[in-house]
Amino acid sequence: GAMNSASYQPGLAPGSLFTIFGNLSGETASTPWPTAWDGISVSFNGALAPIGYVSPTQINAQVPFEVAAGTVQLTVTSNGVVSAPVNVTIQPTAPGIFTDSSGHAAALNQDYTPNEPGNPAPVGSYISVYLTGQGAVAQPVSTGNPAPTATIVNTVAQTTATLDGAPATVSFSGLAPGFVGLTQVNLLIPDLPAGDHHLVITIGAWQSNSAVISTSKQ
């Protein structure tokens, strides 16, 4: 089946990035992402998904924004051979935070340096966290195309965040400029002790996976 490219959990949303593991071949795509590549295509109820990466064992692609929430059938076509359909649940939102192998969030501090244990974000500063699965956006972006760099594209559903359960003010939730299917959430680090804290982002009614953010006292 297909899983969220960030959290590797089931449950996808329109516009989100997803991953399929299998026996394939190919390489990374340039934008806009193609809907067919070296004889490989992926579809949801017949709607073709733009493909961003294909390797001998993996496909990364984007759920078309046009796919409605509900149960849909996913099929993969490889050189004319169509797979058996697999039922996939499409949710209005399905946030998944990208993490490294240690579970640390893909995030930038306010000075645009990576957030990590050796480079924590000071309390009272902002960080940008990267995820996928925001669902509908307020300004239309064509499936498979990068978000514009000159226009802000906001998430429609309400976005909230907590660090170790403490609310963190969200100043922005929307598409990351210049990227396909990537969501950026900017949030304010609340008054917490220095160290590592578990971040959870909620978009609409669905929570993300937990990811680590490092903070410091100013």
- Read out DSSP for 184-200? EEEEE--S--SEEEEEE
As a whole number of angstroms, the distance between CA 73 and CA 145 comes to 23
As a whole number of angstroms, the distance between CA 134 and CA 122 comes to 27
pLDDT at 125 exceeding the cut of 80? yes
pLDDT at 24 exceeding the cut of 80? no
| Nearest of 58, 77, 81, 83 to residue 3 by alpha carbon | 58
**What is the mean predicted confidence (pLDDT) over 87-115?**
97
> Helix, strand, coil % (nearest 5) of the chain?
0, 45, 55
pLDDT at 211 exceeding the cut of 90? yes
pLDDT at 25: 52
pLDDT at 182: 98
- Which is it for strands 170-175 and 166-168: parallel, antiparallel or unpaired? unpaired
Hey, which residues does 211 pair with through a beta bridge? 199
pLDDT at 19 exceeding the cut of 80? yes
Coil, strand, or helix at residue 157?
coil
pLDDT at 177 exceeding the cut of 90? yes
pLDDT at 23 exceeding the cut of 70? no
Report the percentage of the chain scoring pLDDT > 70: 97
- pTM of the predicted structure, to 2 decimals: 0.94
As a whole number of angstroms, the distance between CA 114 and CA 32 comes to 27
Report how many helices (DSSP H) and strands (DSSP E) the chain contains, helices first.
0, 20
pLDDT at 119: 98
As a whole number of angstroms, the distance between CA 75 and CA 43 comes to 6
**pLDDT tens per residue, range 34-88:** 999 888 999 999 999 999 998 878 899 999 999 999 999 999 998 899 999 999 9
